[in-house]
Structure 1
Amino acid sequence: MKQFVAREHEIEPVPGLPGLLPEGEEMLWQGRPSARLVARHVLKNRWIAGYFVVLGVWALIGGLYDGRPLAGIVFSVAVLTALAAVVLGLLELFAFAVEKTTLYTITSRRVVLRFGVAFSMTLNLPFTQVNAVSIGKLGGKAGSIAIQLLPGHRMSWLVQWPHVRAWRLAEPEPGQICLADASAVADILVLAITQHAALASGHASLTQKAAPQRRLPPAIAAAE
């Protein structure tokens, strides 16, 4: 899938795209993941916070049970609290960086994922290589969208993380994660794919008013 990946885009003629759109191709949507949703659903900050709370309670109860001085117990809890603050702060910082360095684009012919906190890259996914689209709800309108590619068109799961469906290591599915209104974006994407397929088949009479036929696989694992 090397032909779909670009690593150098410091100078973008169009934000989020590696080049100008070809004639006849239209931009339909652009957006970013929500840092708050990334921290909660991808980095699991609430679970980590809960883990430190359990450690703090354990240190308190254990210290009292062992008869340790109150000052020593307070010190232990304070150290755990400080460590928790550092860890959670780093997670929030990373989530913020993910939001600021990511830009998802849907055009009339493809999906473009520009991402990378340390090393930036652009993943170009033509509709002709898309096999299926799935959506996972994260509560309310929020959710993540995964794109299953045709066999033979894939790249490393680790390279795409966190912009990839969770636990699909053998068959990685790139995606648009932690969107504030995933259903609306999925409608745009599915309609664009449907129209592109119809035009490719010679059915150019299909209009924007045609209802998209959404056949979505099971929810994205990362949404759990």
Structure 2
Amino acid sequence: MSETGGPEHDYEPVPGLPARLPEGEYILWQGAPSSAAVSRHVLKTRWIAGYFAVLVAWNISAGLYDGRQPSEILFSSGALAILSTIGIGLMEAFAWGVQKTTLYTITNKRIVMRIGVALSATFNLPFTRIVSADMREGKNGVGDIALTLLPGDRLSWLVFWPHVRGFRKGALMPQMICLKDVAIAGNVLAAALASTRTPENAARLATPATKQTGRATAGRIIEAAE
């Protein structure tokens, strides 16, 4: 794969962007998800591996209790182990594909999300359409930034998954997922949103800050940038 994410992205004049930026607009930050974090937090591979481990242990204990032949127990347990390995391997491959084909871009006017493993698509989210941004940071610095958009934006869950958090008031929340050093992206977005504030939208963007650990609303981000 090329540095732009694959042959299908070689046409991009700037990596992650479908066209050159207009005059006066410039890139502030670019980043992609961590494949390890996508595997662990989005696809829950550790939980799935644990589930299969319990199945194998149960199969062995049940076989011994029923008096089955060791060869039968070994065969059935091996089959379960092989199936689990194949399944988890496919999920790890998907997580790798998410990392290689995704590129998030923050400019001074918008967020651009180039996403899609099987079918690549690029979405422009202007700051004027963003109501709030919610950052969640883990202990290792990896985290997500979810975006609440103005009513009227119809987005597809199937198209955006796994780059979504859920719904707020019936509207889909696009999300930049599994970012290493998510605080850096959050600070960049904070400064960019703060610089675009006007008297008309200041009240809309400046929401109360939450005190929960590892979580900040758009208001908290913007306040930190002022």
TM-score, L = length of structure 2: 0.83
Does the residue aligned with 1:99 lie in a helix, a strand or coil?
helix
The change in CA–CA distance for 1:79 and 1:214 in structure 2 (over 3 A counts) is: same
- 1:82 is matched with 82
What are the within-5 Å matches in structure 2 for residues 120-139 of structure 1? 120-139=120-139
- CA-CA distance at 1:29 after TM superposition: 0.3
TM-score by length of 1: 0.84
CA distance, structure 2, for counterparts of residue 125 and residue 97 of structure 1: 23
* Equivalent-residue separation in structure 2 for 1:167 and 1:88 (angstroms): 28
Aligned to 1:93: 93
Q: What is the CA–CA distance in structure 2 between the aligned matches of 1:169 and 1:74, rounded to whole Å?
A: 52
SS of the residue corresponding to residue 165 of structure 1 reads: strand
Structure 1's unaligned 5+ residue stretches are: 1-7, 202-212
Who is 1:206 aligned against? Answer: none
CA contact (8 A) 1:144 1:175 kept: yes
The residue number in structure 1 matching 2:72 is: 72
Asked whether the 8 Å contact 1:132–1:216 carries over to 2, the reply is no
- 1:197 deviates by 1.8
| Residue 135 of structure 1, CA deviation | 1.1
1-structure distance, mates of 2:209, 2:17: 27
Larger relative contact order (Cα-Cα within 8 Å, sequence gap ≥ 6): 1
CA gap of 1:216–1:106, structure 2 versus 1, over 3 A, is farther
- Number of residue pairs the alignment of both structures matches: 202
RMSD: 2.3
Q: Would you say the 8 A contact 2:115–2:121 is kept in 1?
A: yes
What amino acid sits opposite 1:85 in the alignment? T
Unmatched 5+ stretches in structure 2: 1-7, 201-205, 217-226
Give the SS at the match of 1:197.
Answer: coil
Question: 2:155 aligns to what SS in structure 1?
Answer: coil
Which one-letter code corresponds to 1:131 in the other structure?
V
Query: Does 2:180 match 1:180?
Result: yes
